[in-house]
Structures are given as structure tokens and as C-alpha cells.
Structure 1
Amino acid sequence: MNFLFGDGWILTAIIVVVVLLLLPSMIVITSQQNVKLIETFGRFSSVRRAGLSIKLPWPIQTATSNFSLRVREIAEDVGVKSLDNAFVVVPIRVQFAVRDGGEADAFYRLEDPDAQIRSYVVNQVRSTASGMTFDDLFRSRDAFETDVETTLAQRMSEFGFKIENVLVDDPQPSRELREAFDRVIAAQRLKEAATNEGEALRIKQVASAQAEGESLRIRGEAYAAFRNIIAEGNAEALTKFTAKTGLTAKNALEFFISVNEMEAVTTAAQSGGRVVFVAGSAKDGIEPALFGALTAAEDEPERSIK
């Protein structure tokens, strides 16, 4: 009886010792924002989330190390060739995380998730950019981000990951392309400046021509009004003259012409002119006394034309 009791005690002690030895391998402690995957004889069987849990002892079941569920980011400067053969560098950042239910795929299917996701990002960015022109990369950056994000989300979902966000900065053209764009912009600015200067000159010339035309019109109207006043005055004078002298209008006009010519000759002689022009029609109608004054004036000039 004592022998049996002694054997039972020893067996119990052995069991307790074994349990104590195996207990650490049965406890699974998972950190926050992490998971651990449980393998039964090397095959995946379950996922343990943050907190304390129990599994079968080793070597029946084993637990992997903490597998992070945090959002990670990949930053890459992707060199691409656009549809119009422009070589640019597209700075891109992709934020991704393990999707719910995809822990096993994310852990087992990709040996190096960061490197392999980076490869997918580079390939997808180049594929998308190759169908867009250089201007489209700038103007349609949101569409570019959406296209890349949608395609990556579909492909990476197969590997247990979800794409949180895709951020694309302004594409950076090569030095040669920047210089070419600078020359194009400079040429456009020079063209615009020349166009503006030409337009300003045209406006100035049009304004000057309009002002000159307005001036000529005003002077013409003034001259016409002046001529009308003279004509009306002459007509009135001629009417009164013919009424008092009884001469015909023709004789009166010839008389006025003779008077004007004699006044012109007298004015020229009094001014000390060197050359005197005498109309032929005035010679016969000049009175003898006035003709004598004209002859005396002709002695002083060097030359006289009759």
C-alpha cells in the first residue's frame, strides 16, 4: 500500500513537472496591433489577436512571432516614360496594411512584403503613366492616384493586404526637359509681349488717326463756314453795288477783280518786294495814276515780270 502510494506521488510529481515545463509553450501573448499565427505540426491552423490565449504545447502547436497590423508606407521615386516620350520621375508613396481575414496570406504568401509591394507599385505606376501625356500627369494627378490605388488594391488583396492611400507628388522632369520647357515658356512670353506691344502701337496709331481725322473734319467745317460767310458777304456786296451803279453783275465782278489786283500790287510795292507779279487782266484796267505809281515801284526791284 505504501509502495502504491509512493508510486502515485512520483507519477503526480512527474506530471506536475512536465506541465510546468510545457506551460510556457502553451501561453500565447500577442501585442497590440499585432497577430500571431498558430501552426499545428507546421500547418497553419488559427490566428491569435492581441491579449493572452492558450494553445497546445510544443511540439504539437507553435506560434509565430508578432505580425504587425499597423499601416506601413513605401516611398519610391519611379522613373517613367509618358505617352509623348517625356522622361520624368514620379515621387509616390503607398500606405498599406494587412486586411481583416488576410493575415495568413500576408504572412505566408509574400516572403518580403515591402520589397514585393514596392515592385508592384513601380510596375503599376509605369504602366499607368505610359498611357498619359506629360501634361496629363500634372493636370490629372488625382485620376492618376485613383487609377494606381484601384489597380494595386485589386492585386494586393490577393496577398492579404489593403491599400490605404496612394500619394503622388508633382512629377519631376529631367534637366533637359526642364530646360526645353523653360525655353518654350520664354518664347511664349516674348510672343505675348510682342503681341501686346503691337496691339498698343495699333491702338495708338488708330487713336492718332482718329484725332487727326477729327481735326481735319473740324478745320474743314470751319473753312467751309468761313467760305460761306465770305460768299454771302460778297453776294450781298455785289447786290448793293449793282443796285447803286447800274452795272451788270459781270462788269461789277471785273471791277472787284481789278481793285483786288491793284491792292495786291500796291501792297507789294510798299513792302519793298524785289519781284512783282502783275496779272494781265489788271494791266488794261489800271488807272493812269496807279499805273504810274506801279512804274515808279518797278525802278527799285532788280527784276520785274509783267
Structure 2
Amino acid sequence: MDSGIPNFVFFVIVAIFVVAVLLPSMIVITGQQNVRLIETFGRFSSVRQAGLSFKLPWPIQTATSNFSLRVREIAEDVGVKSSDNAFVVVPIRVQFAVKEGGERDAFYRLDDPDAQIRSYVVNQVRSTASNMTFDDLFRSRDAFETDVERTLAVRMGEFGFKIENVLVDDPQPSVQLREAFDRVIAAQRLKEAATNEGEALRIKSVAAAQAEGESLRIRGEAYAAFRNIIAEGNAEALTKFTDKTGLIEKDALDFFISVNEMEAVTTAAQAGGRVVFVTGSARSGVDKAVLGMVEPDGE
């Protein structure tokens, strides 16, 4: 028995030593929001979630380093050409993470996930933008984001990733395109200014014509009223004149005409003018001296 005791102790010591050496390789500690993948003789066997777990000792099983499950973001300024041949830069940010159950594909299938997802993003953005006009890139930005996100979700889902969000900022036109737009806008402003000036002139002309028409109407009414007053006054004067002189209306009118002609001659003479006055045809039945008229010889 005494000879057996040292052997037992030896085996215990050896066992303790082996466990002490192998135990650290059997412990798997996984950080929060991370996973570690267990490989058995180099072949994937399981996924360990956050916390403490155990595996077979090395070299039977090995554990990969912590593989992050956090949402990651890549930002890229993608130069694209629209369907109407406009060259613009589209700033885009893609947020992605490892989907549940996709840890194996995400870890093994992509050597550099960020770089390869960036490549998919660039290709997809250019492909989508090539079917849109420059205006569509601005006006339909939500549709643009949705299209890119939907396509990337399908492609990246095959590699164990999910697309959390796609954010597209305002496309930035090239310097040449920006200058061309500035010229177009300036031309539109000049056109609008010319149109406004022409409309102002038209309104002013219409207003002046309306005012002139209103003025002529008022003057016409005034002239008509004036003529009516004169006519009424002449009629009244003619009636009184015929009643008192006993002349008939025709002779009375001839008399008034003669008086007007003499007043016209007098007014012209006072103004320093020279007037040749020719009377009408000889009047009969009325004393020429009374009428103030001289009948030309030979008539």
C-alpha cells in the first residue's frame, strides 16, 4: 500500500496539472453585443452568446474572437450619372448589423464586410440613379432610399446581414451643372421681370384708355347738354323774336345768321386779320338793309 500511495498522488498531481493547463482553453467569455463562434478541428460547430460558457479544450475546439452584433454605419459619396446625363454626387449612409441566426454567414462568407458592403452600396446607388432624372433624385429621395434599401436588404441578407436604414442626403451637382442651373435660373428671373414689366405697361395702357374713354364720354355728354341748352335758348329767342317782329321763322333765322356773320367779321377785324366775306344767295322778301347783307352784282 505504501508503494501505491505515491503513484496515486502522482496521478492526481498530473491530472491537476493537465486541468490547470487546459482549463483556460475550455472557458469562453463573450462580451455584450458580441458572439463567439466555436470550431471543432477547424470546422464551425456552434455560436456562443454573451456571457460565460465552456467548450472542449484546445486543440479539439477553438473559439473565435468577439464578433460584434452592434449596428455599424458606412458613409460614401457616390458619383452617379442620371438618366438625363447629369453628373452628381450622392452622399449616402447605410446602417447595417448581423441578423439573428446569420452569425455564421456574416463571419465566414465575407472577408471584409465593410469594404464589400460599401462596394454593393456604390453599385446599387449608381444602378438606381441611372434610371432617374436629376429632378427625381431631389423630389423622390424617399423612393430612392427605399429602392436602395430594399435591394441591399436582399443581397446582404444572403451574407447574414440586415440593413437597418439607408440615409441619402441632397445630391450635390457638379460645378459645371451648378453653373448651368444658375444661368437657367437667371434667365428665368429675367423672363419673369420682362413679363411683369410688360404686364404693368399693359395694365397702365388699359387704364389710360379707359380713363380717356371715360373722359370722352363725359365731354360728349357735356357737349350734348350744352347743345341742348343752346338749342332751347335759340328756340325760345326765335319764338320771342317772331312774336314781336311779325317775321316768319325763316326770315328770323336769316336775320340771326346775318348777325352772326357780321359778328364774325368784326371779331376777325379786331384780331388784325383780313377777311373776305361772301354772302349766300340773295334773299328775297326781306329788306337787305335790315338783314345787313349786300347782294352781289349780277345775281
* Normalised-by-shorter TM-score class: over 0.9
- Counterpart of 1:39 in 2: which secondary structure? strand
Distance 1:2 1:150, change over 3 A: same
Q: CA deviation at 1:272?
A: 5.2
Are the equivalent residues in 2 in contact too, given 1:106–1:161 (CA < 8 A)? yes
Deviation at 1:286, TM superposition (A): 6.9
CA distance in 1, matches of 2:238, 2:190: 70
8 Å contact kept, 1:106–1:160? yes
Q: How does 1:124-273 map to 2 (within 5 A)?
A: 124-269=124-269, 271=270, 273=272
SS of the counterpart of 1:2? coil
Paired letter, 2:208 = S
Q: How far, CA to CA, are the matches of 2:50 and 2:245 in structure 1?
A: 139
Q: 2:247 aligns to what SS in structure 1? A: coil
Q: Which amino acid aligns with 1:7?
A: N
Matches within 5 A, 1:36-185: 36-185=36-185
Provide TM-score, normalisation by structure 1.
Answer: 0.90
State the superposition RMSD in angstroms: 2.0
SS at match of 1:194: helix
What displacement does 1:179 show?
A: 1.0
1:29 and 1:254 map into 2 onto residues whose CA distance is: 138
Secondary structure of the 1:97 match is: strand
Does the 8 Å contact 1:262/1:286 carry over to 2?
A: no
Deviating beyond 6 angstroms after TM superposition, the runs of 4 or more aligned structure 1 residues are 282-286
Quick one: which amino acid aligns to residue 176 of structure 1? Q
Shift of 1:82: 0.6
Opposite residue 195 of structure 2, the aligned amino acid is T
SS for the counterpart of 1:273 is coil
CA gap of 1:286–1:91, structure 2 versus 1, over 3 A, is farther
Equivalent residue of 2:3, what SS? Answer: helix
| Alpha-carbon distance in structure 1 between the residues aligned to 2:263 and 2:56 | 145
2:284 aligned with 1:276: no
Answer yes or no: is the 8 Å Cα contact 1:261–1:279 preserved in 2: no
Aligned-partner Cα distance in 1 for 2:280–2:24? 148
The answer to whether the 8 A contact 1:36-1:64 is kept is: yes
TM score, norm. by length of structure 2: 0.93
Tell me which amino acid in the other structure corresponds to 1:151.
T
Structure 1 gap segments, 5+ residues each: 292-306
Cα displacement (A) at 1:254? 0.5
Q: Aligned-pair distance for 1:277?
A: 4.0
User: What amino acid sits opposite 1:197 in the alignment?
Assistant: E
Q: Structure 1 residue 241: deviation in Å?
A: 1.6
Distance 1:211 1:268 in 2: 37
Shift of 1:39: 0.6
Shift of 1:281: 3.6
Structure 1 counterpart of 2:4, one-letter code: L
CA distance in 1, matches of 2:231, 2:143: 84
Whether the 8 Å CA contact 1:262–1:282 is kept in 2: the answer is: no
Per-residue displacement from partner, 1:131-182 (whole Å, max 9, x unpaired)?
A: 1000000000011001101110111111011111101011111111111111
Q: In 1, distance between residues paired with 2:83 and 2:288?
A: 100
> Could you tell me which residue of structure 1 aligns to residue 20 of structure 2?
20
Q: Which amino acid aligns with 2:22?
A: L
The whole-number CA distance in structure 1 between the counterparts of 2:144 and 2:132 is 9
Shift in Å, 1:215: 0.4
Question: 1:261·1:282 contact (CA, 8 Å) conserved in 2?
Answer: no
Alignment check: 8 A CA contact 1:41 1:59 kept: yes
Alignment partners' CA distance in 1, 2:161 and 2:170: 27
* Matched AA of 2:192: E
Give, in angstroms, the shift of residue 278 of structure 1: 2.3
Q: Which sits farther off after the overlay, 207-216 or 275-284?
A: 275-284
Pair 1:202–1:272, CA change in 2 (3 A): closer
Tell me the equivalent position of 1:294: none
Specify whether residues 113 and 79 from structure 1 end up closer, same or farther in structure 2 by C-alpha distance, changes over 3 A only: same
1:94-141 CA distances to partner (integer Å, 9 max, x unpaired)?
Answer: 011111111111000000000000010001001100110000000000
Aligned-partner residue type, residue 6 of structure 2: G
Deviating more after overlay: 171-180 vs 198-207: 171-180
Letter in 2 for 1:276: V
- Identity rate, percent: 80
Q: CA deviation at 1:9?
A: 1.1
Distance apart, 1:60 and its partner CA: 0.8
* 1:262 Cα deviation after fit: 1.5
SS at match of 2:165: strand
